[in-house]
Amino acid sequence: MALCAESFIDLGAIGCYHIHESSMNFADALLYCQSLNADLATPSSLDPLRQYLLDNGKTGEYWVGLVRPSGWIDGRRDDPSEWDEGEPNDSGACARLRDSSDFKAADHGCLNSYKVICEQEV
Ligand SMILES: [Ca+2]
């Protein structure tokens, strides 16, 4: 496993993640992650990231690198199991993980402000 940069946490097989607790819109979230030599999170499997957020008492909503209709911004297609029940419901082109659905994904407008999860590029 790659050594994670400072301020990134090692989540084993799915890589290194940075949880940013301040809110911003999706475009600014992309730029914020790039400023850390990272990108918005594109976990190869969403469940380990959800489990980390749950186990560490995280609350609120976090942008990740998931957009509609194309899927994860690294090119992986989104899986129906990654979305909350009733989502996506065409309420916007960007997706965040929200605590009210145990950090499953829900789409929403990209100009909304949410917290941010970045993933270190390795
Ligand atoms: Ca939605």
89 CA → ligand 1 middle, Å:
5
Q: How many domains does one find in the chain?
A: 1
The whole domain housing 33 covers: 9-120
Q: Is residue 86 part of a domain?
A: yes
Confidence at residue 2, expressed as pLDDT on a 0 to 100 scale = 61
CATH number of 54's domain: 3.10.100.10
Q: Is residue 29 part of a domain?
A: yes
Q: Is residue 1 part of a domain?
A: no
7 CA → ligand 1 middle, Å:
30
Which run of H or of E encompasses 20?
A: strand 16-24
Mean pLDDT of 7-33: 97
Q: Is residue 2 part of a domain?
A: no
pLDDT tens figures, 40-92: 999 999 999 999 999 999 999 999 999 999 999 999 999 999 999 999 999 99
Report the chain's mean pLDDT, rounded to a whole number.
96
Over 90: is that where the pLDDT of 27 sits? Answer: yes
19 CA → ligand 1 middle, Å:
22
Q: Is residue 4 part of a domain?
A: no
91 CA → ligand 1 middle, Å:
5
Confidence at residue 121, expressed as pLDDT on a 0 to 100 scale = 76
Over 70: is that where the pLDDT of 4 sits? Answer: yes
87 CA → ligand 1 middle, Å:
5
Q: Is residue 23 part of a domain?
A: yes
Mean pLDDT of 12-30: 97
Confidence at residue 86, expressed as pLDDT on a 0 to 100 scale = 97
Separation of alpha carbons 22 and 13, rounded Å: 26
Task: Judge whether 47 and 82 are in contact, CB under 8 Å.
Answer: no
2 CA → ligand 1 middle, Å:
34
Over 70: is that where the pLDDT of 110 sits? Answer: yes
Task: State the pTM of this model.
Answer: 0.96
